[in-house]
């Protein structure tokens, strides 16, 4: 069994120090458990905060945010998928997810490929789409593939990850909607989110883990929450509400490994 800590944050907008401390507090709370992987949300250290994107990006090693998380990985002896940070290289900004091992070493990074530039989104106004290949982190307990938020709409990314051998796929997310939606529209959007999680897990025969933001970044927007851990049968083993919190879950990777031997989805086009 592998121990997963899935953290759902309501960030203090623009305050990296406070948000990093929140992460440490959640990990410390579960330090007595077997921690194989901690997963954080997209934009966890800043929230969806334009000023931080443009004026306070991190360097190509993740800057102070990844340095702080590296110390936590060493302290708590856990692997961490570090949500995302805004990474600057030359004159371009990327939405980048770093993966750390238990020694706090960066073992890979993934620059978000599919920016949210539809349905009123303007992520591409500030950020550049990634051009790195898919990231499969070969950690000491599992092979972990990485995607980010709106990538969930693009199944071929996941097809590539399972061909590479992914057993777990994580998706740090900041799934945000308009507060002006009707109650039925809000419920429908939530059903779509849950369905995408279930589909990505079941079609890929992996554990699919989404770590989402919670709360309201502005009067016009709300974060969906509902961070999930879904098993390869499409069964939801963990789902959070729409408030800040963390959920610890033991997952059975033998289930994934046995299914991959008997159902060759990685090789079916």
Identify the three-state secondary structure at position 257. helix
- The conformational region for residue 232 under phi > 0 = left, psi -120 to 50 = alpha, else beta, is alpha
Average pLDDT over the chain reads: 93
Asked if 38 and 247 count as a contact pair (C-beta separation under 8 A), the reply is no
d(CA 2, CA 254): 10
- The conformational region for residue 266 under phi > 0 = left, psi -120 to 50 = alpha, else beta, is alpha
Per the structure, the count of domains in the chain is 1
- Regarding predicted confidence, which is higher, 24 or 128? 24
pLDDT digit string, tens, across residues 30-81: 999 999 999 999 999 999 877 766 768 899 999 999 999 999 999 999 999 9
Range 248-255 average pLDDT? 97
Looking up residue 137, the CATH number of its domain turns out to be 3.60.110.10
Range 109-130 average pLDDT? 80
Confidence of residue 265 (pLDDT cuts 50, 70, 90): confident
Range 186-197 average pLDDT? 96
Range 216-236 average pLDDT? 93
| pLDDT score recorded for residue 217 | 83
What is the share, in percent, of the chain residues with pLDDT greater than 90?
81
Range 227-250 average pLDDT? 97
| pLDDT score recorded for residue 118 | 62
Range 148-154 average pLDDT? 95
pLDDT digit string, tens, across residues 152-179: 999 999 999 999 999 999 999 999 888 8
Confidence of residue 120 (pLDDT cuts 50, 70, 90): low
Q: Is the pLDDT of residue 119 over 90?
A: no
**CB under 8 Å, gap of 24 or more: what pairs does 117-120 form?**
120/178
Instruction: Identify the DSSP state of 202.
Output: H
Confidence of residue 261 (pLDDT cuts 50, 70, 90): confident
| pLDDT score recorded for residue 67 | 98
What residue numbers bound the domain in which 46 lies?
2-267
| pLDDT score recorded for residue 132 | 76
| pLDDT score recorded for residue 168 | 98
């Amino acid at each position: 069994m592998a121990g997963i800590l899935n953290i759902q944050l309501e960030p203090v907008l623009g305050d990296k120090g406070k948000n990093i401390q929140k992460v440490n507090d959640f990990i410390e709370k579960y330090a007595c458990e077997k921690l194989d992987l901690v997963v954080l949300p997209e934009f966890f250290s800043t929230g969806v905060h334009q000023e931080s994107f443009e004026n306070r990006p991190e360097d190509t090693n993740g800057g102070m945010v990844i340095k702080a998380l590296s110390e936590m990985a060493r302290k708590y002896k856990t692997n961490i998928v570090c949500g995302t940070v805004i990474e600057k290289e030359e004159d371009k900004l990327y939405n980048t997810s770093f993966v750390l091992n238990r020694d706090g070493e960066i073992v890979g990074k993934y620059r978000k490929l599919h920016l949210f530039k539809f349905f009123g989104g303007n992520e591409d106004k500030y950020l550049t789409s990634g051009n790195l290949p898919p990231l499969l982190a070969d950690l000491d307990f599992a092979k972990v593939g990485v995607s980010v938020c709106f990538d969930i709409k693009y199944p071929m990314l996941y097809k590539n990850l399972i061909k590479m051998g992914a057993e777990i796929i994580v998706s740090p997310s900041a799934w945000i909607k308009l507060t002006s939606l009707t109650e039925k529209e809000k419920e429908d959007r939530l059903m779509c989110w849950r369905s995408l999680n279930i589909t990505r897990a079941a079609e890929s025969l992996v554990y699919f883990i989404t770590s989402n933001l919670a709360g309201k970044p502005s009067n016009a927007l709300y974060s969906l929450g509902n961070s999930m851990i879904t098993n390869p049968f499409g069964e939801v083993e963990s789902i959070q509400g729409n408030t800040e919190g963390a959920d610890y879950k033991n997952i059975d990777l033998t289930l994934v490994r046995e299914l991959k031997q008997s159902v060759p989805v990685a090789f079916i086009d």
